[in-house]
Amino acid sequence: MDFSWTEDQLEFRNSVLDFARNELNNDVRGRDSRSEFDAEGWKKCGAFGIQGLPYPTEYGGQGADVLTTVLAMEALGQGSKDNGFLFSLNAHMWAGTTPIARFGNEDQKQRWLPGLCDGSLISGQAITEPDTGSDAYALHTTVKKDGDSFVLNGTKTYATNAPIGDLMVVFASIDRSKGWAGLCAIVVEKGTPGMEVEAHYDKMGLRTSPMSGLSFNDCVVPAENLLGKVGSGMMIFNHSIEWERSCILASAVGTMERKLEECIDYANQREQFGQSIGKFQGVSHKIAEMKTRLETSRLLLYRTAWLRDQGKAKAIDASMVKYYISEALVQTCLDAVQIHGGSGYMTETEVERDVRDALSSKIYSGTSEIQLNVIARHLGL
């Protein structure tokens, strides 16, 4: 297991870091207060090649391995303060594009992947419903075959990118009596009659990432939009959620490094009782713990990415990286507020926003409690 980087990989990481710092920090504080998505930043990412990083070159992707991809996503998190924007990027890649890249037929790949890779199309996933959350497979949304079409009826909630999405991977049941064996995954495109995008949700954090509900009322979708086979929805979801859990918090590792750098600078500059506050153990120990959490998070992330590249990753690996980094991220952001004191609580210093953004990491892609359940189950408990 070798995590040493080639010169090309390090050069690429630095280019992503510079790109993020220079292009993805436009009025973050203002857009956060307005819950405004950075559409121009999205186009810039598409031109740079971010959205297409792990996807085949024949469909417009970059063909990068998983380790290189998470290295780039980590650099984005270090360079950009717009956590909501990065969350939308991750949702687009892991929840929306990956199922099409893995389970789409040739026509579907040719139809959608080039636009998804160059940023001209935005995707997401819709599985959560008002009465389902952690019980992901207990879906009430139904799909029925009708000639050359499928008809969807039901309601989805908490769908990231839904207000701006060009297509959503929607999960529905074709036979509820079969439980998970009756699930289907269908790509529903923007403007499809019978699909209504509900009002944009106001959120505690990740405000620059658009989110809303979706309702389907006799929504007729062409049969060729079905991913995989009828009844293969659970397999498709499990595949995409493992990729998501493995990679979505790579940007968070970059955020943790950014917070560490900010806190070191502040602790060296801020003076109390005749010396910099970094000289006090109450502060220096917090920063030492932040560094330790960063490096352990990074190693777990790289290990999981390496296992994915080798085709050896399991559900327990994805759950461990998702659980550990989300918990580490929240604690690091809380410590950053404590180190900055009163100024850390003020919006103008932009420290408190990272706390608000970080808290959701313990909920999305499966709560920390669900991750622990998965880990325990794989241990035979």
Tell how strand 167-173 and strand 123-126 pair up.
Answer: parallel
- Which among 122, 154, 182 is the end of a domain? 122
Q: Do residues 178 and 189 share a domain?
A: yes
What confidence tier does 368 reach under pLDDT thresholds 50, 70, 90? very high
- Contact of 304 with 312, CB cutoff 8 Å: no
Q: Do residues 18 and 60 share a domain?
A: yes
Q: Do residues 87 and 116 share a domain?
A: yes
Q: Do residues 63 and 130 share a domain?
A: no
Q: Do residues 324 and 346 share a domain?
A: yes
As a whole number, mean pLDDT of residues 27-43 equals: 98
Whether residue 110 is predicted with pLDDT greater than 90 in this model: the reply is yes
**DSSP secondary structure letters along 215-282:** EEEEEEEEGGGEESSTT-HHHHHHHHHHHHHHHTTHHHHHHHHHHHHHHHHHHHH-EETTEEGGGSHH
Q: Do residues 132 and 216 share a domain?
A: yes
What confidence tier does 6 reach under pLDDT thresholds 50, 70, 90? very high
75: helix, strand or coil = helix
Angle between helical axes of 250-269 and 315-340 (0-180°, round to 10): 20
Give pTM, 2 decimals.
0.95
When the pLDDT of each residue in the chain is averaged and rounded to a whole number, the result is 96
Q: Would residue 242 count as lying in a domain?
A: no
Q: Do residues 90 and 206 share a domain?
A: no
What pLDDT is stored for residue 138 in this prediction? 79
As a whole number, mean pLDDT of residues 4-20 equals: 95
Q: Would residue 217 count as lying in a domain?
A: yes
For the record, the structure tokens of 252 come out as 């968070």
What confidence tier does 277 reach under pLDDT thresholds 50, 70, 90? very high
- Which among 66, 97, 122 is the end of a domain? 122
Amino acid type, 104: G
pLDDT digits (tens, 9 = 90+) for 48-66: 999 999 999 999 999 999 9
- Contact of 352 with 297, CB cutoff 8 Å: no
Amino acid type, 54: P
Q: Would residue 239 count as lying in a domain?
A: no
For the record, the structure tokens of 178 come out as 């079969």
Q: Do residues 96 and 14 share a domain?
A: yes
What pLDDT is stored for residue 274 in this prediction? 95
Q: Which of 333, 321, 315, 305 is nearest to 379 (CA)?
A: 315
Active-site annotation holds for 244? yes
Q: Which of 28, 25, 33 is nearest to 203 (CA)?
A: 33
Q: Would residue 243 count as lying in a domain?
A: no
What pLDDT is stored for residue 136 in this prediction? 63
What pLDDT is stored for residue 3 in this prediction? 77
Q: Do residues 149 and 215 share a domain?
A: yes
Q: Would residue 240 count as lying in a domain?
A: no
- Which among 122, 147, 174 is the end of a domain? 122
- Contact of 156 with 129, CB cutoff 8 Å: yes
As a whole number, mean pLDDT of residues 31-58 equals: 98
Whether residue 133 is predicted with pLDDT greater than 90 in this model: the reply is no
Count how many residues are written for the chain: 381
As a whole number, mean pLDDT of residues 240-269 equals: 97
Domain of residue 257, CATH code: 1.20.140.10
Question: Which residue carries 């006799």 as its tokens?
Answer: 218
Q: Which of 242, 243, 234, 373 is nearest to 315 (CA)?
A: 242
Q: Which of 100, 142, 344, 114 is nearest to 243 (CA)?
A: 100
Q: Would residue 344 count as lying in a domain?
A: yes
For 69, 252, 253, 356, the CA distances from 75, given in Å and listed in that order, are: 10, 10, 9, 21
As a whole number, mean pLDDT of residues 196-215 equals: 96
Q: State the Cα–Cα distance between residues 360 and 211, nearest whole angstrom.
A: 13
Whether residue 347 is predicted with pLDDT greater than 70 in this model: the reply is yes
Query: What is the count of structural domains for the chain?
Result: 3
Q: Would residue 1 count as lying in a domain?
A: no
Q: Would residue 179 count as lying in a domain?
A: yes
For residue 145, the number of C-alpha atoms closer than 13 Å in the C-beta half-sphere is: 13
As a whole number, mean pLDDT of residues 21-27 equals: 98
Q: State the Cα–Cα distance between residues 355 and 255, nearest whole angstrom.
A: 11
Q: Do residues 172 and 261 share a domain?
A: no
Q: State the Cα–Cα distance between residues 256 and 278, nearest whole angstrom.
A: 18
- 222 forms bridges with which residues in the sheet? 149
What pLDDT is stored for residue 185 in this prediction? 97
For the record, the structure tokens of 248 come out as 């979505």
As a whole number, mean pLDDT of residues 223-230 equals: 96
Q: Pick the catalytic residue: 74, 129, 242, 244?
A: 244
Q: Which positions ≥6 away from 60 have C-beta within 8 Å?
A: 52, 113, 114, 115, 117, 118
As a whole number, mean pLDDT of residues 311-333 equals: 97
Domain of residue 189, CATH code: 2.40.110.10
What confidence tier does 267 reach under pLDDT thresholds 50, 70, 90? very high
As a whole number, mean pLDDT of residues 170-192 equals: 92
Q: Do residues 188 and 257 share a domain?
A: no
What confidence tier does 135 reach under pLDDT thresholds 50, 70, 90? confident
- 173 forms bridges with which residues in the sheet? 142, 183
Range of the domain at 355: 249-378
Q: Do residues 108 and 177 share a domain?
A: no
As a whole number, mean pLDDT of residues 109-125 equals: 98
Domain of residue 87, CATH code: 1.10.540.10
